Amino acid sequence: MKILVTGGAGFIGSAVVRHIINNTQDSVINVDKLTYAGNLESLEFVQDNPRYAFEQVDICERNELERVFEQHQPDLVMHLAAESHVDRSIDGPAEFIHTNIVGTYTMLEVARSYWSQLSEDKKRVFRFHHISTDEVYGDLEGTDDLFTEQTSYAPSSPYSASKASSDHLVRAWLRTFGLPTIVTNCSNNYGPYHFPEKLIPLMILNALEGKALPVYGDGMQIRDWLFVEDHASALYKVVTEGVVGETYNIGGHNEKANIDVVKTICSLLEELVPNKPSGVEQYQDLITYVKDRPGHDVRYAIDASKIDRELGWKPAETFESGIRKTVEWYLNNKKWWSRVLDGSYSRERLGSEEK
């Protein structure tokens, strides 16, 4: 099959592209605007594969999207393109509204127009899979509560509110127009190729440089951590075997407080990089508590029993195995993250576009 993946140069999107190219016989059309978080170097090992194609297109540009659909004739759509950093959404909400809401609307309309003209056989195969987040559910109060597919939406940040809006649009296009859609909501992802502004890579790289490890508030915010390659396999399972109109929560079964995640990273670095930066006795000494961000949810936790029960998917990695693989990847791939930190991955791309 031909699978159109939006946001395929981002963290989760690139993992999906790599999974499809490396583990299936399907083809991928990667549609990505290449914002700051889009990095084609994350696809270095698949970019020359004949089953891979790249289109630098903004999902808000309808004419360009229509060209891509017409040219590539996808069988399935996996819509991951989104602005996704909570802090950035607080500082500048407009971009999140534009990309996550208007962009999803544009994708839905182009997909609907394309789908309506397909043969009956191809119509039956076609799926529009919208990839979302558990942050749309808001905050869990009890220590034993879990987000299920029936949990009411109560987003707290401009980011999560924009994703909640896009989820509602996707379901409305199924109900009103019959477009065959599926929604997934995932917990916090981590793993290789993660943009360094996010918690886990930021802590790894700051520690290696002897910089402060900033932790919001008391660090007791709890998240369910999902290894990105596990997430990619789950998403492929859903788009190929999931039931139209259904929602599937995808989680890692790994609830951890942020401070415990940071301390785990410090412990791994003590083992793997015992030669510390000058002036650092223990990596944990770098932990610094900073003012909490506005509207910071305290606890997220996913009930992922439905996707296990109905599609037979479970995460392969525990947090302990996944975080070790992640730390080791960053230690072994300095070229990738150093080019992100110094901006050269982006400057070279922009320079080539201007020529």
Residue 297 pLDDT > 80: no
What is the spatial distance between Cα 355 and Cα 344, in angstroms, rounded to a whole number?
17
Mean pLDDT for 185-200 is 93
What is the spatial distance between Cα 173 and Cα 113, in angstroms, rounded to a whole number?
12
Q: What is the pTM of this model?
A: 0.93
Whether 42 maps to a domain, the answer reads: yes
Whether 73 maps to a domain, the answer reads: yes
Whether 68 maps to a domain, the answer reads: yes
Q: What is the pLDDT of residue 135?
A: 92
Residue 264 pLDDT > 90: yes
Whether 131 maps to a domain, the answer reads: yes
Q: What is the pLDDT of residue 27?
A: 98
The CATH number given to whatever domain includes residue 111 is 3.40.50.720
Residue 296 pLDDT > 80: no
Domain count, the chain: 1
- Phi, psi for residue 302 in degrees, rounded to 5: -100, 135
Whether 276 maps to a domain, the answer reads: no
Residue 170's domain spans which residues? Answer: 2-195+227-253+299-318
Catalytic residues: 134-135, 159
Label residues 83-95 b or e (16+ Cβ within 10 Å = b). Answer: bbbbebbeeebee
What is the spatial distance between Cα 289 and Cα 294, in angstroms, rounded to a whole number?
15
Residue with tokens 């975080």: 323
Q: What is the DSSP string of 190-228?
A: ESTT--TTSHHHHHHHHHHTT--EEEETTS--EEEEEEH
Q: What is the pLDDT of residue 29?
A: 98
Give the tens place of pLDDT for each residue, 63-86: 999 999 999 999 999 999 998 777
Whether 292 maps to a domain, the answer reads: no
Label residues 278-294 b or e (16+ Cβ within 10 Å = b). Answer: eeeeebbebbeeeeeee
